[in-house]
Amino acid sequence: MTPASAPIPSTTWAARLAPRRWLGPVVLLAPAGVWLLLLLVLPTLLILEISLVPGLRLGQPSGGYGLGNYLQILQPVYLRVIGRSLAFAVGSTLLCLVLGFPVAYWLALLSPRRWRNLLLVGFILPLWTSSLLRAYAWTTILRPSGVFNTMLTTLGLPAQNWLNTPTAVFIGLTYSFLPYMVLILYASLEKLDTRLLEAAADLGATPRQSFWKITVPQTLPGIAAASLLVFISTLSDFVVPTLLGGASSMNISRLIYNQFLGPTRAWGFGSALSMVLILAVSLAIALLLRYGDRNTVTEA
Amino acid sequence: MRPNSSAPQPDPTHPPIPLMPRLTWPSLFTALMYAFMYFPIIVLGVYSFNDSRYSASWDGFSLRWYRALFSDRRLLSALQDSLTIAVVAVAISAVLGTLMAIGLARYRFRGKALYRGVSYLPLIIPDIAIAVATLVFLVSMAVPLSLATIIAAHMVFCLAYIAVVVSSRLQRLDPNLEEAALDLGATPTQAMIQVLIPQLAPAIFAGCLLAFVLSMDDLLISSFTAGGGANPLPIEIFSRVRTGVKPDINALSVVLILGSALLAGLAEYVRYRSDRIRQST
């Protein structure tokens, strides 16, 4: 481009951009930034504001600011909803951990190396399909006349009526989020220094001892990261409690949904619930950043 | 054929880890968990060919639900709505998300930590909270709800996911290539389009696939931003399956699962290819 006779221009980045330093960052960062500001930050600030207007309903004149919507959450009926959401999240996270750890362990350390990637992809493949349809699949299994009861009666066991009970919610949530648990635990176990296990064995440790004294402590940050991530996702899940849990499994997401798209149209109260949910998730994220293995999560 | 010749040979480059706990229960348990993951999908597949309306018993093989599916105008137009939303939202987000990732990797500026934090929010804030906030915002701005508002709302999470995937690739990239292009006289724009973007292409593609799948799967944000103007597939499926078992939804599931298996295969192939290229250079 430059004629050979011309003085050699400084071609470093800084020198080239010096006259219009602001142009590059603006072109690269402004479009997405404006979009996030307009459709995420402003809306979130807006629901923070209307959560502070007690008794706000769509189409009604609103009064002044106050904490009425937040105080309403403290009524026993709503505290039960929050307690149930936490129970769903904690229970299904523990189930995912107990079921997912052996799978991740086998995939990362014991599976045939040649097939390892394919086996991992095979386990998380169901994530590519619609979460709605996977939850729906469990309704066909758990219905009173469904596949599960057909299997039970064939085996001579009593039929169970699990659909529309919290049991079905635990099954559905565990099923939906088990692949995430396995994926993150796998990333953590894969990095485990197996020489430590060899050394322990050389020094006379039993496999059980080296599992509890080396494998588990070494992967604890990964376990924390995976568990908190599954906890956050299950805490706010909407599809599984709605399709599998029935009326007895109202959780916080369903309650918020009803305030906006249901008959009550209590937007102020719904916004306050949203802020509480965001706060709960932020606390979990803060724990994740403090104790979890961030790299494992981003790699996964 | 000697009997020994087919015995599996230990991989010489990766000697087996000695003295690992040689339990068989992890492999048995893992097999059981694979069965758990695929059992519901297989059940849907089998029942989609069942002649029975209530799919309680097996009434014989039939393609009637597939015929019903492909003549269901409402369902097909819902699928079309979903595809339109996903394709448009992902296409715009691919540009915005990639530019954002490059900008974050390249520049230091006041408030960068805040900007980066905001860019992670769509991954962290629960869908229901984003959905509610977007609805309240659109109503307060008197924006009529339509297909366009769904696209605008989907772009928020699409561009965030694409930016995360592209960012992680950018961190492992060789900055010398772009500097070489600049030294050889390319303008910064030329260097970006002809040198940087081709290197990022596999990551951009992977991010787009992820965003596409998430957009096609989204129920909550669509429900809150659709109004009466659009009816994407998850909303249509949700309103049908809420009220019980619908055999034509079984058939739809099989079609969609095959579609997503195809996408997953494509994604893995691209990742495998780009890993190979990275290893050979």
pLDDT at B14 exceeding the cut of 70: no
pLDDT tens-digit readout, B165-208: 999 989 888 878 888 888 888 888 888 888 888 889 999 999 99
Structure tokens at B98: 């990639």
Chain B residues close to A145, C-beta within 8 Å: 54, 56
* Amino acid making up residue B63: L
Chain B residue at shortest CA distance from A177: B37
In a domain, A273, yes or no: yes
Chain B residues close to A37, C-beta within 8 Å: 118
pLDDT at B102 exceeding the cut of 50: yes
Structure tokens at A255: 């309650």
* Amino acid making up residue A33: G
Give the percent of chain B with pLDDT over 90. 44
In a domain, A141, yes or no: no
The pLDDT of B122-134, averaged and rounded, is 94
**DSSP calls for B254-276:** HHHHHHHHHHHHHHHHHHHHHHH
Predicted pLDDT at A114: 85
The pLDDT of B91-119, averaged and rounded, is 92
Predicted pLDDT at B281: 52
Predicted pLDDT at A83: 96
CATH number of the domain at A254, please.
1.10.3720.10
For chain A, residues with pLDDT lower than 70 are 1-21, 58-62, 292-300
Residues of B (216-245) whose Cβ lies below 8 Å from A: 216-217, 219-220, 223-224, 234, 237-238, 241-242, 245
Q: Which domain holds residue B111?
A: 73-280
Distance CA A39, CA B140 (A): 13
Rg (CA), chain A: 26
Chain A residues close to B242, C-beta within 8 Å: 242-243
In a domain, A213, yes or no: yes
Q: Determine contact, residues B128/B225, Cβ cutoff 8 Å.
A: no
pLDDT at B9 exceeding the cut of 50: no
Torsion from C-alpha of A279, A61, A67, A274, nearest 10 degrees: -10
Torsional sign, CA B175, B177, B181, B183? positive
In a domain, A257, yes or no: yes
Q: Residues near B212 by Cβ (< 8 Å), separated by ≥ 6?
A: B86, B87, B90, B263
Q: Which site among A34, A107, A139, A140 would you substitute to test the B interface, given the most B Cβ atoms closer than 10 Å to its Cβ? A: A140
Give the percent of chain B with pLDDT over 70. 88
Predicted pLDDT at A76: 94
Structure tokens at B17: 């880890």
Q: Which site among B32, B34, B37, B249 would you substitute to test the A interface, given the most A Cβ atoms closer than 10 Å to its Cβ? A: B37
Structure tokens at B221: 């944000």
In a domain, A77, yes or no: yes
The phi, psi pair for B263, rounded to 5°, reads -60, -45
Predicted pLDDT at A158: 85
In a domain, B14, yes or no: no
The nearest CA of chain B is from the CA of A291 a distance in Å of 17
Predicted pLDDT at B6: 43
Q: Which site among A58, A130, A240 would you substitute to test the B interface, given the most B Cβ atoms closer than 10 Å to its Cβ? A: A130
Torsion from C-alpha of A227, A230, A234, A235, nearest 10 degrees: 60
Q: Residues near A47 by Cβ (< 8 Å), separated by ≥ 6?
A: A271, A274, A275, B129, B132, B133, B136
Distance CA A33, CA A20 (A): 20
Predicted pLDDT at A241: 96
Chain B residues close to A35, C-beta within 8 Å: 96, 155-156, 159
Mean pLDDT of chain B: 85
pLDDT at B20 exceeding the cut of 80: no
SS3 call for B50: strand
DSSP letter at A264? S
Q: Determine contact, residues B222/B213, Cβ cutoff 8 Å.
A: no
Chain A residues close to B88, C-beta within 8 Å: none
Distances in whole angstroms, Cα of residue A59 to Cα of each of A192, A282, B140 = 58, 32, 11
Q: Which domain holds residue A221?
A: 68-128+164-299
Predicted pLDDT at A62: 65
pLDDT at B108 exceeding the cut of 70: yes
The nearest CA of chain B is from the CA of A224 a distance in Å of 16
Chain A residues close to B55, C-beta within 8 Å: 140
End-to-end CA distance of chain A: 44
Closest residue by Cα to residue A251 from A265, A262, A235: A235
Predicted pLDDT at B272: 79
In a domain, A248, yes or no: yes
Predicted pLDDT at B24: 73
SS3 call for B227: coil
Distance CA A286, CA A40 (A): 20
In a domain, B17, yes or no: no
Distance CA A178, CA B214 (A): 18
Rg (CA), chain B: 24
Count of A–B CB contacts within 8 Å?
A: 273
Distance CA B215, CA B91 (A): 12
Check if B268 contacts A (Cβ < 8 Å). Answer: yes
Q: Residues near A270 by Cβ (< 8 Å), separated by ≥ 6?
A: A256, A259, A260, B132
Predicted pLDDT at B55: 57
Predicted pLDDT at B243: 74
Q: Give me the interface pTM, i.e. the ipTM.
A: 0.86
Q: Determine contact, residues B122/B160, Cβ cutoff 8 Å.
A: yes
CATH number of the domain at B92, please.
1.10.3720.10
Distance CA B135, CA B142 (A): 10
Let me know how long chain B is.
281
Distance CA B166, CA B145 (A): 31
Q: Which site among B52, B145, B241 would you substitute to test the A interface, given the most A Cβ atoms closer than 10 Å to its Cβ? A: B241
Q: Determine contact, residues B61/B49, Cβ cutoff 8 Å.
A: yes
Nearest CB to A13 within list B47, B129, B182: B182
Output the furthest CA–CA distance in chain A (Å, rounded).
Answer: 94
The pLDDT of B150-161, averaged and rounded, is 96
Domain count, chain A: 1
Res. B54 pLDDT band, cuts 50 70 90: low
Predicted pLDDT at B264: 82
In a domain, A148, yes or no: no
Domain count, chain B: 1
Distances in whole angstroms, Cα of residue B98 to Cα of each of A126, A176, B56, B90, B164 = 27, 30, 49, 11, 9
In a domain, B169, yes or no: yes
pLDDT at B12 exceeding the cut of 50: no
Distance CA A75, CA A84 (A): 14
In a domain, A43, yes or no: no
